[in-house]
Amino acid sequence: MANPVPQKTPSEPLNLPTKLAYGVGELGGEIPGNILVFFLLFFLTNVAGLNPTLAGSVLLIGKVWDAINDPMIGYLSDRTRSPLGRRYPWMLIGAIPLGIGFSLQWFVPPTSNQWLLFAYYGGVGILFYAAFTSVVLTHNALAAELTQSYDERIGLISFKAAFSIGASIFSLGLAQIIFAQIDDPSQEYRILGTICAVVATLAIFLCVWGTHKRYKQIEAQRESVTQVSFLPITQQFRIAFSNFPFICVIGIYLCSWLSLQTTAAILPYFVIHWMGLPDHHFTQTALTVQGTALSLTFVWSAIAKRIGKRAIYCIGIPVTVCALMGLFFLQPNQVGLMYVMAVFVGLGLSTAYIVPWSMLPDVVDFDELNTGQRREGIFYALVVQIHKIAVAIALFLVGKALDMSGFISTTSEQLPPTQPESALWTIRLLIGPIPAIVLMGGLAWAYFYPISRSFHGEILLQLIERRNTETLRDGGDEGDGEDEGDGEDGEDYG
C-alpha cells in the first residue's frame, strides 16, 4: 500500500513585503470609502444643495444595483480561470473605472433642479459602485488565499486594518490641507476627489504586483485537491447562510459598521451645528479617532494572538460604546473633552477593523471542511455587500432623520444657518445613543462566534488529511474521473 503523499505547504512564512503589498491594496477601496462616508452626505446637502432625503436616496440607488452586482462578481470570480488567477483580473479591470467614477462624484452640475442633481449623482454612483465591488471584493478575498495560518491571518489583517485606518488619516489630512488653502467649497471637493481617485487606482496596481507571487504558491497546493463549486448562485447563498460562524461574522460586521458609519456621517453636523466650531475641527476630531485606532492596531493584533480574536472585540467595543455616550452629553463649550472622547472611540474602533475580517478566512476554511469546496468569492461578496448596505442605510437614515427634524440645507454660497432644537437633538442622538445600541448587538454576535484558535487548528488538520487522501486517490485513479464533482451538492462532510 502506497504511503500518503504529504500535503505541500509554502516553504516560507508570509513575509513582510507581501503583507505590505496587501495592505497597500486596501487604499484602493478605503480612500474613496472614507471620503464618501465622512463627506458625501454633507457635500450633497451643503455644497450641491440637494434635499437631505434625496441626498440619502442617492446611496440607495447604488444599493439596488449592488444587490445584483456584488454576489454576481463574487460568484464569477470564484469561477474565473486566467494566468493571473481568480481575483486579479477583476481588480485590474475595475481599477481605472473606480478612479473615474469616484472623481465624478465631486463635481457639481450647473443646475439647481433637484431631480437633475439626483439623476446625476445616482448615475455616477452606479458606475462607481460597480467598479468598487470589482476591486474591493476580490482584494478582500485574497486574505483567505495568501495564508492558511490562524495567527498569520491576524497579522495580515492587521496590515489591512492599519492601511485602512491610514487611508482615513491620509484622506482626512489631505482634506484639511485642501480646505485650508481653497475658499470655494465646490472646488475643494473636486480637487480632493481627483487626488484620492489617482492614489486609489495606483494602489490597486501595486497590490497586484506585490502579492501575486505568494498567491500562486498557495494556489498551487490547493488546485489539485480543492474543487470550485458550479452550483447555481442561489444554492451557494443557501449553503453560505447555513454556516453558523458566517452568520456570526455578518452580525459582528453589520453592527460594527452600521454604528460607526452613522457616527462618521453625523460627525460634521455635530461639530459644526451642535458644538459651534469651525469645520477644521471636524477633520481634526476624525483624525484623532483614526490616529488612535492606527496606533493601537498592532497592539490589539499582538493581544489577539494570545487571547483570541473574539476576546479583543469584547474588550475594545465597550470602550467605544461608553465614549459615544459621552459625546451625547457634551456641551458646546467642552471642546477639550470632545477630543478626549474621540481618543476613546478610536481605542475600540481598531478592533472593529481587525476582528471580522480576520474571522472570515477561518469561516471559509470551515465551509471547505463541510462541503469540499472553496467559495471565497461568495462569502466576501456577501460581506462587501453588507458593508455597502450599512453605509447606504446609515447615510439614508441620517439624511431622513435630519430632514424630518427640520434641518435647514444650504449651498456653498450660504452661511450655515441656526438649526432648530429638533435638528440639534437629532444630531446628538445620532452621534451617541443610537450607534452605541447597535454596537452592543455586535457584542452579542461575538459571544456566540464558535471558531477559536484550537477549533481552527482542528479544521486545518482535517483539511490536510483530506487533501492527502484525495491526492493519493487521484494519483491511483488518474483518468478514471468517477469521483469528479464530489461535494457539488453542498452536503456536510463534517
Residue 266 clears pLDDT 60, i.e. is over it: yes
Question: For the chain, what is the radius of gyration of the CA atoms?
Answer: 23
Residue 200 clears pLDDT 50, i.e. is over it: yes
**What's the one-letter identity of residue 324?**
L
| Stated length of the chain | 494
Local confidence band at 312 (pLDDT 50, 70, 90 cut-offs): very high
Q: Note whether 165 and 26 are within 8 A (CB).
A: no
Residue 315 clears pLDDT 60, i.e. is over it: yes
Residue 379 is placed in which grid cell?
Answer: 462569502
**What pTM, to 2 d.p., does this model score?**
0.70
Burial class of residue 407 (count of CB atoms within 10 Å of its CB; 0-12, 13-18, 19+): buried
Q: Check the CA dihedral 186-346-274-257 and report its sign.
A: positive
Q: Which residues contact 291 (CB under 8 A, 6 or more apart)?
A: 169, 346
**What are the pLDDT digits (tens) for 390-442?**
666 776 777 788 888 888 766 544 555 678 889 899 999 999 999 999 999 99
> If we measure between CA atoms, which residue out of 385, 392, 310 comes closest to residue 351?
310
The percent of the chain in helix, strand and coil, each rounded to the nearest 5, is 80, 0, 20
Q: Note whether 155 and 19 are within 8 A (CB).
A: yes
% pLDDT > 90, the chain: 28
For residues 62 and 107, what is the distance between their CA atoms, to the nearest angstrom?
A: 18
**What are the pLDDT digits (tens) for 141-151?**
888 788 777 77
Q: Which residues pair with 373 in a beta bridge?
A: 227
For residues 140 and 134, what is the distance between their CA atoms, to the nearest angstrom?
A: 11
**What are the pLDDT digits (tens) for 84-134?**
878 899 999 999 999 999 999 999 888 888 888 898 998 898 889 889 888
Residue 485 is placed in which grid cell?
Answer: 464533482
Q: At what angle do helices 453-476 and 335-371 cross, to 10 degrees?
A: 30
Residue 475 clears pLDDT 70, i.e. is over it: no
**What are the pLDDT digits (tens) for 429-447?**
999 999 999 999 999 999 9
How far from the centroid of its chain's Cα atoms is residue 316's Cα?
A: 19
Q: Note whether 148 and 353 are within 8 A (CB).
A: no
Local confidence band at 322 (pLDDT 50, 70, 90 cut-offs): very high
Residue 219 clears pLDDT 90, i.e. is over it: no
Task: Report CA-CA distances (Å) from 430 to 38, 348, 383, 442.
Answer: 14, 18, 24, 18
Local confidence band at 474 (pLDDT 50, 70, 90 cut-offs): low
Q: Could you tell me where the DSSP H helices lie in 142-230?
A: 143-146, 150-181, 185-222
Residue 236 is placed in which grid cell?
Answer: 451557494
Could you give the dihedral angle defined by the CA atoms of residues 163, 165, 170 and 175, in that order, rounded to the nearest 10 degrees? 150
Q: Check the CA dihedral 330-333-339-340 and report its sign.
A: negative
> If we measure between CA atoms, which residue out of 150, 244, 226 comes closest to residue 456?
150
Q: Note whether 430 and 262 are within 8 A (CB).
A: yes
**What are the pLDDT digits (tens) for 208-218?**
999 988 888 77
Over range 468-488, report the average pLDDT. 53
The DSSP call for residue 227 is B
For residues 431 and 80, what is the distance between their CA atoms, to the nearest angstrom?
A: 43
Q: Which residues pair with 227 in a beta bridge?
A: 373
Residue 202 clears pLDDT 90, i.e. is over it: yes
> If we measure between CA atoms, which residue out of 406, 403, 396, 289 comes closest to residue 353?
289
How far from the centroid of its chain's Cα atoms is residue 122's Cα?
A: 21
Burial class of residue 119 (count of CB atoms within 10 Å of its CB; 0-12, 13-18, 19+): middle
For residues 72 and 68, what is the distance between their CA atoms, to the nearest angstrom?
A: 6
Res 416: pLDDT: 58
